[in-house]
Amino acid sequence: MFHLRAVSILSLCRMAVAPPSYCFVAFPPRAKDGLVVFGKNSARPRDEVQEVVYFSAADHEPESKVECTYISIDQVPRTHAIVLSRPAWLWGAEMGANEHGVCIANEAINAREPAAETEALLGMDLVRLGLERGTTAKEALDVIVALLEEHGQGGNYYEDAHACHSFQSAYLIVDREEAWVLETVGKYWAAEQITEGVKCICNQLSLTTKIDAQHPELRSYAQSQGWWTGEDEFNFSEVFSPADDHLDCCAGKDSLEKKEESITVQTMIDILRDKAGGVCIDSESFLTTASVVSVLPQNRSSPCIHYFTGTPDPSRSIFKPFIFVDDVKLVPKAQSPCFGDDDPAKKEPRFQEKPDRRHELYKAHQWARAVIESDQEQGRKLRKTMLELEKQGLEAMEEILTSSDPLDPTEVGDLFYDCVDTEIKFFK
């Protein structure tokens, strides 16, 4: 009994480390054909299911509230259409996009100041709120920091009744013109604007002395805590990182910066699949449970295209395209079952049970993963066919991006639906 207890305590200690997720952005001319390319691997507890969900734009009654993962806040008059990849038990998202070509990814961060365990907004809630309320990357940033000031961040990042895993948050917020790296510690924050080259962020603070926007009291707060003298140059990550943090953040940064050729969707997908380089996580505690790559053409007459896996381990998953149009067909097969008010995540004390949140795509994909892992010959064939399916999708999207004809919305409204359907049938 003692041995088991010791093992579980050890695993809890390990789990308190922020999961090693990675997100990336590349701008022209490093990215090809005037495209901004965004990518994110979501590393989460191994058994967690992520779903891909779409919400159409909506008008809301005056003074109505929106129920986030743990708290309710004031709703705005109108929310934008969004598509999210999210852990199936919570309201927010690890990553997603909106109809205006804004993409946001979240990173859990360990900082010098421990994150609050008190239930407030999760970093993942702020991803969704930024997408619902921001028409540009900068607008989304302004939304996030205003809500952070008003409501704070805190609460359990995992569906775990035995321990509270709370983290500070960092965000990569991207649109067709620019990106913002936003890093937060409690309600305090700093942000850097990026309009060229490549950028990677992971589970450590990365901002240094180039700060383009910040909380008005950021520096005085650091001084009051004795973390900054006020005389040296202000270096955000040196001031706010834990003492034991070695600031070599990105395994991913190297893989992106070393690419000598132009960065394309395929390049970004290959980087997200990189297990040897540590970008694709498959460890005892964590797994890359979902991935996304988005292409944001700087030419506004071309549509933004978002490729979601909706399944774990991008090296064994298919990236499937989604395009915003007025009449998007919902994809129940990539959505987890809904437990309503009976969901153990919504009842206090929370997480007393763990319901089966696997959706149809996840279940079909579990079979494929098992085959790839166990049977070398059949597994190789299966993976080859999966990559061929993906390639067909990528080539069809390439045609849309290079075509001079306007997009026909009726042709792409059920794009993601059809891709998920084909994938499930193929696994069966």
Q: Which residues contact 48 (CB under 8 A, 6 or more apart)?
A: 87, 88, 89, 158, 159, 289
Instruction: Kindly name the residue from 23, 249, 280, 419 that is annotated as catalytic.
Output: 23
Sheet strand arrangement including 22-26: 198-201, 22-26, 35-45, 286-297, 305-308, 320-322
Q: Do residues 122 and 148 lie in contact, with contact meaning Cβ atoms separated by under 8 Å? A: no
Among 50, 65, 55, 46, which Cα is nearest to 97's?
Answer: 55
Q: Where do runs of H (alpha helix) occur along 152-228?
A: 218-224
Phi-psi map region of 155: left, alpha, beta (phi>0 left; psi -120 to 50 alpha) = left
Q: Is 304 an annotated catalytic residue? A: no
- Amino acid identity of residue 412, one-letter, is V
Q: Do residues 116 and 243 lie in contact, with contact meaning Cβ atoms separated by under 8 Å? A: no
Q: 278: burial class by Cβ within 10 Å (0-12, 13-18, 19+)?
A: middle
Cα–Cα distance for residue pair 120/16, rounded to 1 Å: 19
Q: List residues with catalytic annotation.
A: 23
